[in-house]
Structure 1
Amino acid sequence: MNTSCLLAVMVGGNMSQIFGLVTLGRLDMRFSKIHLLESQEKAYFLDGIKELYNTIQKDNSILITRKIVTNRRIKSYLVRKLVSVPCLFGLKFRLWNNRKVNFAALISGDFSVLIPHAFYSQLNFVYMHDVWPRFQYWIFPLLDLFNIRHVFFSSKQVWADHLKKFPKSRCQSMWLPEGIDANEYSFRPYHEKKIDVLEFGRRYEKYHLLIKDRLGANSKYHVYKHKESDLLFQEKSDLVEALAGAKIVICTPSNITHPERSEYISSMTLRYLQAMASKCLIVGITPLDMQELFDYQTIVEIDMENAAEQLLEVLSNYDSYFPLIERNYLEVRKNHQWINRWDIIKQKIEEVK
C-alpha cells in the first residue's frame, strides 16, 4: 500500500499496522534541510522526544540541524502573557519567510521552543503530547499564531477535538501515536527476570494499594516508588535495566490515574511500548488508542475485584503468556517505532513543501 492510500485509510477503518506500513521509498524530496528545535532540559518525561529526535538525526537523506532553544524562562513568560490576552490569538506573527523547515516535539502547549524561529518561516511542524482539554482553548489557536503548517497529535481524541473545536484552523492536523526506538531497550531471558511486578511513572494508587501487601506477603519482588518526592530511576539506563529484568509491568492510561488532569483523553503512552520492547507482560487497562492500533488483545486487563489474586495467578502461570509477550515485541519492532512515525512526518512535510 502506498503512502497516499495509507493516509487516506487513517481517517477510518482498522488502525492495526497502518502506522507501521508507511514506506517512502525513493522520493524526489523537495526539502533537504530541517531544523530540530529542542529544549535543553533533561527531565525523564522527555525521553520519548529524545528518542524521536535521535531517530530523525539518523536520516541521511536530509541535513539535520539540532538547535537548543535558549532563554526558555523569558520565552515561557511571554507565552503565558499571550495566553492571558485571547484577543491576540487571531494575529499573525510572521516577520518574513526564510523557507526553513522547523520541527519541534512539544509537551502540551510549550510554544516557547518555537520562539523566534516560527516567526521567520511558514514551514513549521510540531508533534504534540498531553494536549489536555482544559488547555485546548488556547493551544489550538496558538498553532495558527505560531505559523504551524501541520500538527501531529499523539492522541486520536485530541485530534478529533482540534477538528471539532477549531474547524477553521489554517493548521492541518492528524493523529500520530507515540513511538519508540526499540534498539534502546533490552530484555533478559524469561528465566533470568527477577522483578515480579514493576510500577513506574504515573501510578494507579487505588490498584497499588490492593496489590502491595499481598505481593509482599507472598515474597514477590515488587518494585515501585516509595516516596512521592523520589524518582524511582535516576537515569534512563536504570529504567532500561529494570524493564529488562521485569516479568510484569503495570500500565494504566492517564484518564484513569489522573482524571483531574487528563479528563477523557485515553491515549497510548511510551510506557506501554517500553514494556513491550523489553518483553514484559503488561497488566493494566487498554487505552482507547491501542484498541485501534492493535487488532488483538495486547494486555491482561486489571481485575479490580481480585487484583492481588489475579497477579499471583498470572505469575504462577507466567510461561503461558510467552506467546503474547513475543507477539507484542515483534509488533512494536515492526509497526510502532519512531522510524515508522518519522516516515509519515517526512511525507507530510514533503506534501506541504
Structure 2
Amino acid sequence: MASPRPWEHPSFYPVEAVVGAVSAQGGRRVRVGGMYGRGVTRLGLSPSVSRSRQILVPLMGPRRHQIADAAIRGRPVVLAWDVWQDSVAEWIDLLRDFRVQVVFCTSTAAQELLRERGFEGDLLYLPEATSVASYRPGTRLTERAIQVLELGRRWDAWHDPVQRSGLLGNVKSRYELERGQVIFDTRDDLIDGFASSAVSVCFPRSVTHPAAGEVETFTHRYLESMASGCLVLGHAPADLIELFGYNPVIEADIHDAPGQLRAILNNLGSYQDFVDRNLERVKQVGDWRQRAEYIADVLLTPQQDGSSPGGSH
C-alpha cells in the first residue's frame, strides 16, 4: 500500500483513511512521493514495471512522481480520485506509461470516461468512503453553534443570493472568504467544526466547476458531514443515491436559496430523524473498512488463469 506522506492538504484526508483501512487488512505501507519519483518525473522516464507484487497507489489526480516511486517497489494498482474531462488525457498517458492494469474509480462517471478514452484494463467502481469512527455525531441539530457550513468549493450561484439576503449575517456561518481558504486549520478543528454545524452545504464539482466537464461524483465531504450528524443541503450525485438507496441530501432550491435555507433553519428539529437515518446508513455503506475488504478481495483473488486481475471489465 503506497503511503504518500506528508498529507499536503485536508483534501488528502481520504487518502490517509484508505491507507489506514488497507493496512488494517494486512497491507504493508510503502512510502512514496520522494526524491526518486520526482527525479524520474523530471527526466521523463518510466521505470520498468516487472515485479509481481501489487502495490495499491492512491492518486488525487494524475501524480506521476507518486506512481513512479511506487513502480520501483511493485506493480502499481491505482485508486483514482479526480478523473475529470480536462485531465483524462494525462490520466490515460500515466496509466499507459506505467502499464497499469487495474484501476479503482471513485465515480461511475470517471470509470466510463476512462473506458471511452481507451483504457483496456480492469476499471472497478469503488465508491468514496470515510472513517466513520473518526467523526463525532455531536449534539442535536437545534443545539449546534454553527448554523451553516460551506466547506471547500463554494458555489457562488447559491452562496451569493444567500449572502445578499443578509441571512448569513444573522446566523453563525463558516465559509471561504477567499478561494482556496482552509476553514479549519487542523484535523481536530475540522472534526469539531463538523460536530458543531447544523447544515453542511455540499455541491459536486460538476456544479461548482462546470469547466471541468460533466463527471459528477460525491466527495468525502458528503460522508463526513453525515458521519458528524449534519443535515446536508445541496445536490446529491446519482452515485450517492444509489449507494444509500435513497436521497440523503436536501436538494437546494437554486431559485430561492435564501427562502429555503431560512425555512430549514427555522425548523431544524423536524430534520433530526432524517439526519439520524443518514448517520446509521453511512455506517452501513460508507466506511473505508468496507472498501478495504473489497480491495483485498479483488487483489488477492486469482483469476481463472491463475493471474491477478488485469482483464477488461
TM-score normalised to the size of structure 1?
Answer: 0.79
Contact 2:233 2:250 survives alignment (8 Å) = yes
Tell me the residue number matched to 1:69.
Answer: 33
Q: How does 1:89-238 map to 2 (within 5 A)?
A: 94=48, 96-97=50-51, 99-119=52-72, 121=74, 123-166=75-118, 169=120, 171-190=121-140, 191-216=142-167, 219-228=170-179, 230-238=181-189
Q: 1:95, CA displacement in angstroms?
A: 5.7
Tell me the residue number matched to 2:311.
Answer: none
Moved more, 100-109 or 66-75: 66-75
Tell me the residue number matched to 1:17.
Answer: none
Whichever residue aligns with residue 52 of structure 1, its letter is V
Whichever residue aligns with residue 185 of structure 1, its letter is Y
Q: Separation in 2 of the partners of 1:186 and 1:347? A: 30
Q: Separation in 2 of the partners of 1:248 and 1:291? A: 19
Deviations 1:99-151 (A, max 9, x none): 22211100111131122442564x42110000111222231243233132311
Contact 1:194 1:246 survives alignment (8 Å) = yes
Q: Separation in 1 of the partners of 2:234 and 2:27? A: 41
Instruction: Classify 1:63/1:178 alpha carbon distance in 2 versus 1 (closer, same or farther; 3 Å).
Output: closer
Tell me the residue number matched to 2:194.
Answer: 243
Q: Separation in 2 of the partners of 1:93 and 1:64? A: 21
Instruction: Classify 1:148/1:94 alpha carbon distance in 2 versus 1 (closer, same or farther; 3 Å).
Output: same
Q: 1:326, CA displacement in angstroms?
A: 0.8
Q: 1:254, CA displacement in angstroms?
A: 0.3
Q: Separation in 2 of the partners of 1:250 and 1:96? A: 46
Instruction: Classify 1:96/1:298 alpha carbon distance in 2 versus 1 (closer, same or farther; 3 Å).
Output: closer
Tell me the residue number matched to 2:18.
Answer: 52
Q: 1:66, CA displacement in angstroms?
A: 3.0
Instruction: Classify 1:143/1:201 alpha carbon distance in 2 versus 1 (closer, same or farther; 3 Å).
Output: same
Contact 1:215 1:221 survives alignment (8 Å) = no
Q: 1:64, CA displacement in angstroms?
A: 1.6
Whichever residue aligns with residue 22 of structure 2, its letter is I
Q: 1:283, CA displacement in angstroms?
A: 0.8
Moved more, 291-300 or 303-312: 291-300
Deviations 1:139-177 (A, max 9, x none): 12432331323110111011112222215x2x2111111
Whichever residue aligns with residue 282 of structure 1, its letter is V
Decide which of 15, 38, 41 is 2:4's aligned counterpart.
38
| 1:338 aligned onto 2:298 | no
Contact 2:145 2:197 survives alignment (8 Å) = yes
Which of the pair has the greater relative contact order for Cα pairs under 8 Å at 6+ separation?
A: 1
Q: Separation in 2 of the partners of 1:184 and 1:106? A: 22
Contact 2:33 2:69 survives alignment (8 Å) = no
Decide which of 272, 278, 290 is 2:222's aligned counterpart.
272
Contact 2:3 2:19 survives alignment (8 Å) = no
Q: 1:253, CA displacement in angstroms?
A: 0.5
Deviations 1:23-42 (A, max 9, x none): xxxxxxxxxxxx42424342
Q: Alignment length, in residue pairs?
A: 301
Q: 1:218, CA displacement in angstroms?
A: 6.9
Contact 1:251 1:285 survives alignment (8 Å) = yes
Q: 1:45, CA displacement in angstroms?
A: 1.3
Whichever residue aligns with residue 340 of structure 1, its letter is Q
